[in-house]
Amino acid sequence: MGAVTELQRRVLQLLEEFGPVHVYELKRQMGSRSTYATVVSLQARGLVEARWEPSEYEGKPPRKIVSLTGIGEQALRETVRPRQTFTAVFGAPT
């Protein structure tokens, strides 16, 4: 499956916490300008899936809603578990 970057891990964690969410909401939560590119890279790897939803406002473009896939859930578990084990053994990073 390959490693995920810190930014990718954060996207996966937010999707796990909030469920399907609009890309702009992810960007707001993360405060990162590269959120959209991160979502595209996760989608290419099958870790997230996206669907288009009509805007609730007339004349506005559709919104891209992103959700975690089963593969994404597995990748998140694999990235979080080693960190938790490290913390349990060595303590939290300072």
pLDDT greater than 90 at residue 39? yes
pLDDT greater than 60 at residue 20? yes
Instruction: Report residue 82's pLDDT band, with 50, 70 and 90 as the boundaries.
Output: low
Distance, in Å, from the CA atom of 55 to the CA atom of 68, rounded to the nearest integer, reads: 21
Distance, in Å, from the CA atom of 94 to the CA atom of 89, rounded to the nearest integer, reads: 14
pLDDT greater than 70 at residue 53? yes
% pLDDT > 90, the chain: 57
Q: What is the CATH number of domain 6-89?
A: 1.10.10.10
